[in-house]
Chains A and B, each alone.
Chain A
Amino acid sequence: MSNNNLLQVKELKKSFGGIQAVNVSNLAFEEHILTSIIGPNGAGKTTFFDLISRFQSQDDGEIYFEGKNISNSQPYKIARLGMVRTFQLTKVFERMNVLENLMFAGSSVRNDSFISSIIKLPSQKEYEEELKTKAFEVMKLLTLEDMAQSYARELSGGQKKLLELGRAIVKSPKVLLLDEPLAGVNPKLSEQILEIINNLISEGKTVLMVEHNIEAVMRVSERVIVMAEGEIIADGPPNEIRTNEKVIEAYLGSDDE
């Protein structure tokens, strides 16, 4: 592996009351590809996401993003560096409309500041207009444009997943961490989300995804990492993973299941 490691973890450990949730010795993620993390429930996938986005603190170990040590960074600082995550249990801003959800996500720290919101220079208005245009582009991509003025709480579960994905896209990060983007989403919408993810990859983004939809994972991922009991038990291209004995035993089950 060369220098194109965007994200790297070393000796990352986390346990809850003696139960080891994550224990990953050395793992690096390459740029511009879709990497999926799979594994049985309680394997530590979401905890792993929480650790690398720093929503939880690790017991031990280091995390590097673009060579920068972010082991002790605040979550919002990591997002500003260009790594944005979504959540397993969708977190949309329920009592704000879809447009506001997206505009807030895209808005810069400077645009959000108290001072510029009091002064309201014409440049802020222009910026907001651009933001609105961008938000509508994303809504179109997500087929949510008819919902612009709807409160996010009025959306269906699948649409909320789309909105959360859209919020991450508006921010145009380098890396997206998607925690179960297809959970509870109907097949048609799933295809749509997968297509959006594919487009992101071809635009040069890097995507990490935790997902249980094995068929989809195997079809779209370039690399699959399998976790069980906090440890990585397999790591490789999909067709290799599919036939890996350990993976079949721990997670996939045999064909006649």
Chain B
Amino acid sequence: MKLSSRVVITVLVTTASLASVYILNPESATRLIFSLLTFAGIYGLSAIGLNVHFGWTGLLNFGHAAFMGMGAYTTLLLVPHAAGREGEITTSGLPIFIAAIIGILCASLLGLLLGLPALRLRGDYLAIVTIAAAEIFRLLVRDLEGITGGVYGIISYSDSLQKYRPQIVDSLLSDLNISVTQTWVGILAWISIGIVLLLLRRLNRSPWGRALRAVREDEDAVRALGKNAVWLKLQSFMLGAGIGGLSGILLAFNYGSLQVTTFVPILTFYIWAIMILGGVGSLTGPIFGAIVFWVIISETDKIAGLIFENANGQQLAGVRFALVGLLIMLLMIYRPSGLLGKKEELLLDVK
């Protein structure tokens, strides 16, 4: 098979960004890379779900954080945990794998509930409704303290997943001074990516995938050909929401304690940035987008620190956002199809 320039560029950019971590942090590089790959796996998975919405079906979903949150909260409340100010530990609960499946299904269900009215709207209006719905979700979670723990969050749930951590993870990492709990979540995230991508590849090449692309291109033409466009959009919405839910669960276990502030709108925009960076509509693009994105997020402070020697942490964070913004602008101008997106299937045509 001929290697396309897209693939070459993607591999080069990803390798170069990981190498830059080594150059900028000679001492702690290995630990950083493991942490970074865990985050990249989780965010990448979420972006894969968003890509089903936007890349495949053309749905402007700006409420992805809500689906992630729904998956996370449902799952954590079903396993042994401690929620709220009192923080009383519940000892009974479902096994994590069953709880996770219920969490994913609930995220899908939220997609259905939100989609039923919202998917009758077009383009920009859907974006407005989804961003509002995600905020409503977050504020509800915050205020329903009796159930969700509110602003006090949820703790003491990690063990339900960590008790399944194979011994081999610990023994392999024992010399490296790396968090084994985080690495276990990272491993599960990348396994999830593998499974989800296999499933999506199957769907992408199927008549169903073709139907979603047709909806993305022209809903009226889809209707005129006797296909129920709203139902197709709903299905896409539920599938992407479920994948988002799974990534939300992994994100919660990565943090070890869950705060409602995790699911603020900026999370959704990060996921969007990753999807655009990786290539809208590309199956594996979001993975590379996520790795590069996390390198940028974790390393721009250092680069900013080199430029502005006396800056404090808050100022550096500001520079970081400016750099990320600049990067996305440059990307949109010079490579709007992202790392792996096909130029011919460009969705974000800004010119």
- Which residues of A line the B interface, CB within 8 A? 53, 55, 74-77, 79-80, 84-87, 91-96, 100, 103-105, 107, 109, 111-114, 116-118, 120, 124, 128, 151, 153, 164, 167-168, 171
Contacts and interface: CB of A to CB of B under 8 A. Distances in A.
A103 B213 CA distance: 12
B226 interface: yes
A79 B209 contact: no
B257 to A, nearest CB: 36
Secondary structure at the A interface, as helix, strand, loop or mixed, is: helix
B224 A117 contact: no
Contact of A94 (B211, B217, B229, B239): B217
Interface residues of B, number: 31
B214 interface: yes
B262 interface: no
A46 to B, nearest CB: 13
With a 10 A CB-CB cut-off, give which of B214, B222, B226, B227 has the most chain A CB atoms: B226
Given A93-B213, A93-B218, A95-B344, A117 B228 contact: no
B207 interface: yes
Given A79-B225, A171-B226, A112 B208 contact: yes
Contacts of B259: none
A113 B203 CA distance: 10
A84 B213 contact: no
Contacts of B222: 76
15 contacts: A74-B223, A79-B224, A80-B226, A84-B226, A91-B224, A93-B221, A95-B344, A96-B214, A105-B225, A107-B207, A112-B208, A112-B227, A117-B202, A118-B206, A167-B225
A29 to B, nearest CB: 18
A80 B231 CA distance: 15
A118 B202 contact: yes
B124 interface: no
A111 B207 contact: yes
Given A93-B214, A96-B214, A107-B211, A87 B224 contact: yes
Contacts of A105: 225
Interface of B: 199, 202-203, 206-211, 213-214, 216-218, 220-229, 232, 235, 239, 344-347
A106 B218 CA distance: 16
Contacts of A96: 210, 213-214, 217
B223 A75 contact: yes
A84 B221 contact: no
A76 B207 contact: no
A95 B218 contact: no
Contacts of B210: 96, 100, 103-104, 107, 112
Contacts of B235: 114
A113 B208 contact: yes
Given A76-B229, A95-B345, A96-B217, A104 B224 contact: no
Contact of B225 (A84, A111, A118): A84
A51 B95 CA distance: 55
Contacts of A92: 217-218, 221
A168 B225 CA distance: 7
A109 B220 contact: no
Given A55-B220, A87-B220, A112-B208, 4 more contacts: A92-B221, A95-B216, A151-B344, A153-B344
With a 10 A CB-CB cut-off, give which of A77, A93, A168 has the most chain B CB atoms: A93
A76 B208 contact: no
Contact of B203 (A118, A151, A167): A118
A93 B224 CA distance: 13
Query: What 5 A-B pairs come out closest when comparing CB atoms?
Result: A79-B226, A117-B206, A117-B208, A93-B217, A91-B221
Given A53-B224, A87-B224, A109-B226, A95 B207 contact: no
Given A92-B221, A96-B213, A117 B203 contact: yes
